[in-house]
Amino acid sequence: SQTIHQWPATLVQPVGSPLSLECTVEGTSNPNLYWYRQAAGRGLQLLFYSVGIGQISSEVPQNLSASRPQDRQFILSSKKLLLSDSGFYLCAWTRGGKAFFGQGTRLTVV
Amino acid sequence: GDSVTQMEGPVTLSEEAFLTINCTYTATGYPSLFWYVQYPGEGLQLLLKATKADDKGSNKGFEATYRKETTSFHLEKGSVQVSDSAVYFCALINGGTSYGKLTFGQGTILTVHP
């Protein structure tokens, strides 16, 4: 079956600490992968988009980076978190008109 | 580039009222159109979709019709319930290939009062 796993579900990190959020996909190959952020009270903002291994498109300049070391793995990272990085991060994949979402990660930077 | 524009919220309704959330899009080609819903404290869920012009997607009493002539995909429900309170996102995936990019609208917050 086609699923997507995203972890952790919640995370509290101090300012200046590193970040690594992981997303893995099952049941498909060569999906398009996405990282979105949803700040409190706001809509979804596309952060990164990948059409293949090692291919990352950054939609907005920011303190974050993304990597796709394997076809079905997408990682969101930061070397030093800022308070403004707090939010709800959502991983998604699409292929041929289908779209699936992870459960999201609630990140609080303190 | 592709874009999706939703009506600005928040939208506040009384139970059993009629709901319309407007969504228009800009895209080349023939996109697939979606409505997603995010209930409080939960992740995004697919509510309904339409893959070609004049298709009507429906689910849980919600409906939306793919109107190519007006580039719209408005969400409607005849009688809303308190449990429909959520954030609703209109989205599209462009093209008939496997490489379409998922583009979201900004989301519309719906609050339904008893």
| Average confidence (pLDDT) per 10 residues, chain A, 110 residues | 84 96 90 85 81 87 90 95 92 78 90
3-state secondary structure of A75: strand
Average pLDDT, chain B: 89
Of A49, A99, A101, the CB nearest to B43: A101
Please give the backbone phi and psi of residue A101, each rounded to the nearest 5 degrees, phi first: -125, 145
Q: Sorting pLDDT into bands at 50, 70 and 90, what band is B72? A: very high
B96 pLDDT above the threshold of 70: no
Show residues of chain B in contact with A42, CB under 8 Å: 106-107
- Whether the upstream peptide bond of residue A31 has omega within 30° of 0, thus cis, is no
How many helices and strands in chain B, by DSSP H and E?
0, 12
The pLDDT, as a whole number, for residue B111 is 95
**Residue A104 to residue B101, Cβ atoms within 8 A:** no
The pLDDT, as a whole number, for residue B47 is 94
B97 pLDDT above the threshold of 70: no
The pLDDT, as a whole number, for residue B98 is 45
Distance CA A41, CA B35 (A): 19
- Locus of tokens 């590193």: A18
Distance CA B104, CA B56 (A): 19
The pLDDT, as a whole number, for residue B13 is 96
> Is B76 buried (19+), middle (13-18) or exposed (0-12) by CB count in 10 A?
middle
> Is A74 buried (19+), middle (13-18) or exposed (0-12) by CB count in 10 A?
buried
Distance CA A99, CA B34 (A): 9
Show residues of chain B in contact with A92, CB under 8 Å: 44, 102
More confidently predicted of B101 and A74: A74
Please state the rounded mean pLDDT for residues B27-31: 82
Q: Compute how many other C-beta atoms are within 10 angstroms of the C-beta atom of residue B23.
A: 25
